[in-house]
Every structure is written in C-alpha cells, then in structure tokens.
Structure 1
Amino acid sequence: MHIETVDQSQYPQLLTIWEASVRATHDFLAEADLLELKPLILEQYFAAVDLRVAKGSDGELLGFCGVSDGNIEMLFIAPEARGQGVGARLTTYAIEHQGATKVDVNEQNVQALGFYEHVGFAVVSRSPVDGQGKPYPLLHMELAGR
C-alpha cells in the first residue's frame, strides 16, 4: 500500500468509496442527508482539502483522507479494505506530512470515535449539530499532548 496525491480525475472513484463507506458506517444518517451531501462532496469538498489516497499494490483505491488547516476533514475507507490498516496509515500520514492535529467525529459513529482514540486523539469538546446544522452531534478531538 502506498499513499499519493489525488488527481481530479479520481474524484468519481473517491465519491464511490465515500458513499459505500458512509452507508457502512453512518447508519444514523438519513438517506435525504446522504443524497444532499453527495454532490457537495464531489463539487466542493474534495477541492477544499489537501487530499491523499491510499492505493493497493494493484493500483486499487483503498481509501482517502483530506486535511485542511490541521483538521482531518474526511477519512473514508472502501468497505472491503476496512480493518487492514488503511485508515491508520492515512491518519499517520496526515499527522506526519499534512500537519493534522484535530478531527471532528459524528457522536453516533462509535467505530470512528474508537478508531481516533486508538490512534491518539482525545475528545476536547462537543457540538450539538454538524457542519450543515443537522442534528448529528460532533465530537471535537485533538491529538493527545499537542
């Protein structure tokens, strides 16, 4: 597995990973909210972050991570690649090469919360709504000791 920068031509593949990952991990998210987010991810959010992709030895896209201003804004792993260290590798890369020290996690996404705690983040505060003002509370996390 290796990590590299993303070319805009890869955005449709990343959107496919995003949707599959969200459907596998965000069971609290309403279908209407997912459909509302999908074009925003493709048309705005990908371009707004420093985006990296993890590729397998066969060139298959396994997952991606986007960082902005020291915050991991997105980390999504293809469902078939979950549990294989892809998220940990992307997170380590984001910390070591992209200056990431913070992440916001949906409170209902207990898998993500456990993952980020495992790799060294701790909850520092909570917001009752997400970035779109929807009733999906966010936990604001920072790297412990930073």
Structure 2
Amino acid sequence: MRIRHFKCLSSELKNALIELWEQSVRASHHFLTEEDISKIKQYLNGDEAFIRIEFLFIYENNEFVGFLGFYQTSIQMLFIHPNFFRKNYGTSLVNFAITHFELDKVEVNLDNEKALKFYEKLGFQIYDRYVDEFGFVLLKMKR
C-alpha cells in the first residue's frame, strides 16, 4: 500500500478520480438519484470543484484504490473503489491524514449511514449540520 499527496491534479489524475468517484458512489450511495449523480459529476468536471482541495491517493500494487480530499483541517471527500470496500483503505487514508496533516473535521451526508458510523468509529462526533448547494443535509463532525 502506498499513499501519495497531491496539491493539485493533472487532468489525467482528475479524470481517474472522477471515474473512481462514480464507481464508488454507484456502489454505496443508494440514496442518490441518477439526476443527483449527474449534477454532482458535472460539478466535479468543472473548474471550481478542486480549487483549494489537496488529495491523498492510495495505491495497492500500483492500482488506484481510492482517495481522500481535504481543505485546511477538514476532510472534504473520501471514496474507495468498490473492489476494495471493507479492506481498511479508507481507515488507512483517514489515519494518514490525521497523523500527517492534522485533519480533525469531516462533513457527512445525513443519508450516508455507513459513512457516519465509519467516522464515529474513528472518533469523530457530530457538532452541527447544514444544507449544501445540492439540497443535501450534511453533518459536521470533529474529533
């Protein structure tokens, strides 16, 4: 397992990230409609989505397994390819991010119960909530 840090993404890395994101979302975010996925994917393909976000990519035998995006001390996104679900890659990314980048916050979609339990298990607790630009309720969590 290898983790690489990127302060910005080449178009090749961005395309790989969006492809992995979609595969992960389709396998795990059953609360999203096709319209939701399309809107979010369109946003991700735009110029604004990754302006200040840094990324940690995780690889196994040179295969792109997943990624964590963060801004300042907050995890913005964490997605793992479905072939690697429940094999501790997400935990490895979060622990690496906490240790090396002092991340202590995350936002989780209210409807994403598995993600909520995952972050609670890692010591995060809910402290606030808000509605995002797509109309979803997000829970703010911190360690």
- Compute the TM-score of the two structures, normalised by the length of structure 1: 0.88
Instruction: Compute the displacement of 1:69 (Å).
Output: 1.8
CA RMSD of aligned residues (A): 1.4
- Compute the TM-score of the two structures, normalised by the length of structure 2: 0.90
Instruction: Compute the displacement of 1:47 (Å).
Output: 3.9
1:142 aligns with 2:142: yes
The code of the aligned residue for 1:61 comes to F
Residue 60 of structure 2 corresponds to 56
Residue 114 of structure 1 corresponds to 117
Q: C-alpha distance in 1, partners of 2:51/2:15?
A: 13
Residue 133 of structure 2 corresponds to 132
The unaligned stretches of length 5 or more in structure 2 are none
1:58-97 equivalent positions in 2, closer than 5 A? 59-97=62-100
Cα deviation 1:95-128 (Å, max 9, x = unaligned): 111221100101110000010011111111222x
Kept in 2: contact 1:67–1:98 (CA 8 A): no
The unaligned stretches of length 5 or more in structure 1 are none
Matched length: 139
The code of the aligned residue for 1:52 comes to L
